[in-house]
Amino acid sequence: MDTLSTRAQEIGGTLSQILNKFMLVQKNTYDHELNTNGICNLGVAENYLCENELISKLQSIQIWNTSHIYYPNSVGLLSFRETLCHFFQNTFHLNYQLNPDRMLISSGLSGIMSLISYVIGDKNDVLLIASPYYTAFDHDVSAFSNCAIFRCPLLEQDSGQFILSVEIFKHGYEKAVRQGLRPCGIILVNPHNPTGDIYDEEAIQPILEYAAEKQLHVIIDEIYALSIFEDEKPFQSMLSYKHIIDPQRTHFVWSLSKDFALSGLRLGVIYAGSEILCSCAAALNFLQVPSTIVQDIARMIFSDQSWIDSYVKLNRSRLTARYKIVKQRIEDLDERIRVRQTRAGFFIWADLHLLLHATTFEEEQRLFETIFSHGIYMSPGQFLGCSQPGWFRIIFSVREKWIDEAFRRLKLALDVYNQSPIPSTA
């Protein structure tokens, strides 16, 4: 590392522990046919439940033309942006027309978050976020902009519940200022990762009002908007809110990676509060704009409304069924495990703190390492910024045979941990 810049060394240290585990999993992922000794990946939020339907759709698209061999523009293909505007209008039942000039396409939601943090924040500014949260946000907002995430815990100590309220952001803002930091924005994730909670407009509006009072940008990440379970009422997107108090500082972001399980296409979207934000972001997006062919493939998918409707319905059905199965299997492992009710997403938020020999993050790490040594990767709460030890995020949307093998190993891992010596407190 001493041959690299100081900046490079700082980037390497940002997510070093998480990244090291992730790279080990990538190099040696379990497959019931090709790699039976590999690591069962229940840590990365990808959805395999409609894999065959997606492959069939992609294979039906034949669109190569001369435009695909030349440079794309830096905001994204106009035809794709127009198609997405139409898709969001239909999906979220909007009574107004979205403006494609306020939309920018980049390389995944990580690319989008990197751009936004750069254009709304200065070096050492912070973005407030409810914790626990998606791990990679730390890297996304810091790698290029040198901004940082500032955690605002959802967990109420008195009730033991994870509750979103404007108060957690007020407290976080004041704490950041006392530490000499300047908050420049708030990140809201709805549906939430990792709790799987869904927030309605009544919960979000007080936060938007507080942000407007403090002149903070608000980035609302709705990447799981269509991955809600069957028995839930239709999702209420921020794009459908009747009134947004500070529209120029309120931004919608989304990606194909979750709702359409196309994480490999690397397509992220921002519908910005102003055209000027898109213009500034476009200057940086030259570094990471997706290829024309990938955007055109996605355009063809989103032009087929009949297929979209069928896929979303099927995906919700399969997510709901698999969630119920895996939730029961987790609870059957040990009566001390508590599984929090999830309403959306690919993950179960499970409380294993009663299994810990001591309620500390050090002991949570020891349990995680025991599980990992048995060939299962699932995210411990401290990786996600959880304020209480013992929570784990477990992905259920993987192939069924992977689930079977993972739970066979997980039972062995918990038995080994339960029989391990209790650490001395001396």
Q: pLDDT digit string (tens) for 100-120?
A: 999 999 999 999 999 999 999
Looking at residue 143, its pLDDT comes to 87
The Cα 279–Cα 175 span in angstroms is 33
Residue 211 covered by a domain: yes
Nearest to 188 by CA among 172, 179, 360: 172
**Cβ neighbours, 10 Å, residue 360:** 15
Are residues 110 and 212 both part of a single domain?
A: yes
40 and 87 inside one domain: no
Residues 296 and 312 in one domain: no
Provide the domain count of the chain.
2
For the segment 218-238, the average pLDDT, to the nearest whole number, is 96
CA dist 389 and 355 (Å) reads: 11
Domain-located, residue 426: no
- The percent of residues above 70 in pLDDT, for the chain, comes to 97
Check whether residue 174 and residue 266 sit in a common domain: yes
Q: Is residue 62 part of a domain?
A: no
Taking only the tens place, the pLDDT of each residue in 146-184 is 999 999 999 997 788 999 999 999 999 999 999 999 999
Query: How many angstroms separate the CA atoms of 340 and 343, rounded?
Result: 10
Q: Is residue 365 over pLDDT 70?
A: yes
CA distances in angstroms from 306 to 60, 174, 302, 313, 350, listed in the order given: 15, 49, 10, 11, 36
Residues 133 and 197 in one domain: yes
Instruction: Give me the mean pLDDT over the 370-399 stretch.
Output: 97
The answer to the question of residue 39 being in a domain is yes
* Residue 350, token pair as written in the block: 């499970």
Strands 103-106 and 268-271, sheet pairing:
antiparallel
Together in a domain, 98 and 142: yes
Same-domain check for residues 286 and 364: no
List pLDDT tens digits, range 326-338.
Answer: 999 999 999 999 9
Q: Of 294, 275, 301, 252, which Cα lies nearest the Cα of 112?
A: 252
Residues 263 and 288 in one domain: yes
Q: What is the CATH number of the domain that holds 332?
A: 3.90.1150.10
Question: Tell me: the pLDDT tens digits for 173-221?
Answer: 999 999 999 999 999 999 999 999 999 999 999 999 999 999 999 999 9
Q: Is the pLDDT of residue 11 over 80?
A: no
d(CA 345, CA 46): 10
Mean pLDDT of all residues in 122-129? 97
Q: What is the mean pLDDT of residues 40-64?
A: 96
* Residue-level pLDDT at 1: 64
CB 105 within 8 A of CB 295: yes
What is the CATH number for 288? 3.40.640.10
Whether residue 61 is contained in a domain is answered as no
* Pair (386, 320) in one structural domain: yes
Q: Which DSSP letter does residue 155 get?
A: B
Q: Which of 394, 291, 286, 421 is nearest to 339 (CA)?
A: 394
Confidence of residue 59 (pLDDT cuts 50, 70, 90): very high
Over 70: is that where the pLDDT of 389 sits? yes
Question: Of 260, 255, 262, which Cα lies nearest the Cα of 314?
Answer: 260
Flag whether pLDDT at 8 surpasses 90.
no
In a shared domain, residues 23 and 109? no
* pLDDT of residue 240 exceeding 70: yes
What is the pLDDT averaged over residues 64-86? Answer: 95
pLDDT at 14: 46
Query: Which residue pairs from 302-309 have beta carbons closer than 8 angstroms and sit at least 24 positions apart in sequence?
Result: 302/80, 302/83, 302/84, 302/86, 302/87, 303/83, 304/57, 305/90, 307/57, 308/87
Other Cβ atoms closer than 10 A to 21: 19
Mean pLDDT of the chain: 95
Name, in order, each residue with C-beta under 8 angstroms of 313's C-beta and a sequence gap of 6 or more.
none
What is the reported pLDDT for 34?
94
Whether residue 48 sits in one domain with residue 158: no
* Closest C-alpha among 318, 393, 264, 301 to residue 80: 301
Q: Which of 134, 307, 124, 306 is nearest to 221 (CA)?
A: 134
Closest by alpha carbon to 195, among 398, 388, 404, 401?
A: 388
Domain-embedded: residue 1: no
250: in domain: yes
What was the pLDDT predicted at 6?
A: 79
Q: What is the pLDDT of residues 262-290, one digit of tens each?
A: 999 999 999 999 999 999 999 999 999 99
Residue numbers of the domain that contains 27: 6-52+308-418
User: What mean pLDDT comes out for the span 42-71?
Assistant: 94
Nearest CA to 144 out of 174, 181, 106 is that of 106
Q: Which of 257, 272, 304 is a domain's end point?
A: 304
Instruction: Give me the residue label for tokens 């009002």.
Output: 209
Q: Say yes or no: 112 and 195 in one domain.
A: yes
Would you tell me how many other CB atoms lie within 10 Å of the CB of residue 28? 13
Q: What is the pLDDT of residue 12?
A: 56
The most confident of 63-72, 109-118, 141-150, by mean pLDDT? 109-118
Residue ending a domain, choose from 255, 275, 304: 304
Domain boundary among 277, 304, 331: 304
Residue 63 lies in a domain: no
Q: What proportion of the chain, given as a percentage, has pLDDT over 90?
A: 89
